[in-house]
Structure 1
Amino acid sequence: MHPCWQILERHRDSLDATSVLWLDPPQSHSLIKTGDHCITPNRANHRQNPAQWLAPDADWPATVDHLVLFYPKAKGRLEWWLRQVQQQAAGATLWIVGENLGGIKSLPKRVSPWARCDKLDSARHCGLFEVRQENALPAGQDWLSFNWNDHTIHALPGVFSQNRLDTGTAVLLGQLPALSGELLELGCGSGVLSLALLNGDQQNHLTTVDIDWLATTSTQRTLTDAGMADRAEVIWSDGLSEVPVQRYDHLITNPPFHTGIRTHYEPSERFFAASHDWLKPGGSLWWVANDFLDYQAVLQKGAFEVQQLAHERGFRVYRAVRKG
């Protein structure tokens, strides 16, 4: 159980007495009542109960009296959430809970220009605060952008590769040829790799997925701006759970392995373990990974011929060809 739930359990009476809108909770919990709703960018949480766990672009409940926001680690995403609160439920009671390791102690300073922040509790290396808005939030910039290869990359706050080409993707792109046919990418982030894959061969088609709603929204805008959206399907998906089953010519990934402040390898490992079933005979799997990550050990034994193509700047690039 996430430690933030343990501190919130100490306030069960207050939370049980009112309808609560939970913002980005890490998982389900008994504190989330039948009549409550959650707003989540995480597809794994959303798919367990879409009627209660709403996507970020869904309409909020008509009446919101009490909100609980789980403090996001990703830079800029706190302000993004607070702007949603200001637009949708400015008069509601707002609690923000988070781990000390995730930076919750900096909350009073971060909101001081426009809000009063009172500590309600601290336990389990977590803090719980009530935030009362006193002034309008400063004008914020939800969308970030940077130029790459004569294209504009668009990203919402906290999305991977939101303001620059990350090192791992750069190393991977240095080895990728133009790939033709049907392509499948795991972890689209802001859409840099997606755009590069579509730019390499003008006749290919890309299916790209990400568990983060803000990432798929970012990639969709990046590809639309580049005029390539007609050759891509961007899917909000927990791994490949929402992807129609078919076989692809190539799979490509810079595997995601962080969830908040923790490493979480299981979704990427599921992708590698199942990759044999998603590739055509002779199809290839391309990936980049930090030196300490050994995804080739997860591949179906004897199903691939694996080759390391590069080792640069702490990253390794691999190609695995599916045997017939």
Structure 2
Amino acid sequence: MSLSNPSQVLLRNSELLIAKAPLLINLPEDGFIDAYVELHQPTNIHCFNTNFIDYQALLNKHGSKVNTTFASFYQSNIHHDLVIIAFPKSKAELNFTLAMIAHCVTAETKILLVGEKKGGIQSAPKLTKEILSNCQKVDAARHCLLFVGFFQPEKLSKTFNLADWFKKYQLTVEGITLTIASLPGVFSQQKLDTGTELLLSNLPEKMSGNTLDFGCGAGIISCFIGKKFTDTRLSLLDVSALALTSAQETLTLNGLTGHVFASNSLSDVKEKYQFVVSNPPFHQGVKTHYQASEEFLAGINKRLTKQGKITIVANNFLRYQPIMQAHIGETHVITKAKGFTIYQAQLSSK
């Protein structure tokens, strides 16, 4: 894989990368680590990722040579002298990330923030002014920015309490009231999104047995199903550790249980399901995210029981119906509203 633009910007600032025990947060496996090791030969590299795909790629490439962690927050007994953070898509996630590493850095630890301009990284000094001192831009190239700053130890507690970071709210759909818990960066952190609301109002009339929530986010879909259809056995899948932790908390708050697990599309799906329900994740204009959802729809037939059903919601411009028709069976448009379409297909008996 060729070096991403943020990685190229980091490497052209080689003098800032000198460290014995660097911590790389949410950086992809794009060849950066190999280049970094060749340049500086750090004693111990630690990689923390909340994205399961990136975590797997790092683990498969580097094995035990690099300490890799997939979790919703970072824990370590090591003091890092350098932390490199890929600027998150959700600005709220940045201070969450800084708070979770307060226990393993000192006032001398360099904190590097790198990201593409279109991702909003130019707001980094403002966002971190209560945590980092002297957060300054040190480079701008390849449509990316690089900032460096240092912790203000007196401004942040060394004790990180995950429970403090959940955003909790209640919602009521079709007379069913749910309590939702969501960590920063998780889809629908503040409220029920339009697509999911439409999906919940257009589920199959009866549901029971093994039910998979693909791309579960904070667990709204599963909890609604679990409350409405008490004979379902819930499985919740997501690529994000933050989402999985949120979904588990949401289940608990609503007195429900389920199998919550990480998977790269269908990579870790082992069971078969009578029902699959999803608001498939995607980001407009980013090809790989379309591809992930399309691979899910093309492969889910192998994980459906005989006459198993799948119900999804999608933006009107997404061409999912032909894929479902080709790989699953006859696919119906249940409804269209507010820019979204509900599709439902039943596994063909062929």
TM-score over 0.5 for the pair = yes
Structure 2 counterpart SS, 1:319: strand
Alignment correspondent of 1:111:
128
Change (3 A) 1:65 1:267: same
Measure the CA separation in 2 of the matches of 1:43 and 1:239: 10
Change (3 A) 1:276 1:300: farther
Alignment correspondent of 1:220:
248
Q: Map of 1:42-53 to 2, 5 A cutoff?
A: 42-48=51-57, 49=59, 52-53=67-68
1:305 positional shift: 1.0
Find the partner of 2:199 among 143, 158, 172: 172
In the alignment, structure 1 residue 241 sits paired with structure 2 residue 267: yes
Find the partner of 2:118 among 89, 92, 101: 101
CA contact (8 A) 2:49 2:55 kept: yes
Q: Runs of 5+ in structure 2 lacking a partner? A: none
In the alignment, structure 1 residue 162 sits paired with structure 2 residue 189: yes
1:143 positional shift: 1.0
Amino acid at match of 2:171: W
Alignment correspondent of 1:145:
168
1:5 positional shift: 0.8
Q: Map of 1:190-205 to 2, 5 A cutoff?
A: 190-205=218-233
Measure the CA separation in 2 of the matches of 1:293 and 1:54: 34
Structure 1 counterpart SS, 2:301: helix
Structure 2 counterpart SS, 1:304: coil
Measure the CA separation in 2 of the matches of 1:21 and 1:302: 43
Measure the CA separation in 1 of the matches of 2:240 and 2:16: 31
1:302 positional shift: 6.5
In the alignment, structure 1 residue 30 sits paired with structure 2 residue 69: no
Alignment correspondent of 1:122:
140
1:19 positional shift: 3.1
Alignment correspondent of 2:345:
320
CA contact (8 A) 1:216 1:236 kept: yes
Measure the CA separation in 1 of the matches of 2:191 and 2:51: 23
CA contact (8 A) 1:273 1:300 kept: no
Alignment correspondent of 2:83:
67
Alignment correspondent of 2:92:
76
Measure the CA separation in 2 of the matches of 1:80 and 1:58: 11
What TM-score does the superposition give when structure 1 sets the normalisation length?
0.91
Alignment correspondent of 1:132:
150
Amino acid at match of 1:236: A
CA contact (8 A) 2:179 2:253 kept: yes
Q: Number of aligned pairs?
A: 320
Moved more, 20-29 or 51-60: 51-60
| Sequence identity percentage | 32
CA contact (8 A) 1:116 1:133 kept: no
Give the RMSD, CA atoms, in angstroms.
2.3
In the alignment, structure 1 residue 306 sits paired with structure 2 residue 308: no
CA contact (8 A) 2:278 2:311 kept: yes
Alignment correspondent of 2:215:
187
Q: Runs of 5+ in structure 1 lacking a partner? A: none
What TM-score does the superposition give when structure 2 sets the normalisation length?
0.85
Q: In the TM superposition, what whole-angstrom CA distance separates every residue of 1:36-67 from its partner, at most 9, and x where no partner exists?
A: 11110001122231753212345336231111
1:167 positional shift: 0.5
Measure the CA separation in 2 of the matches of 1:312 and 1:267: 24
Measure the CA separation in 1 of the matches of 2:142 and 2:244: 34
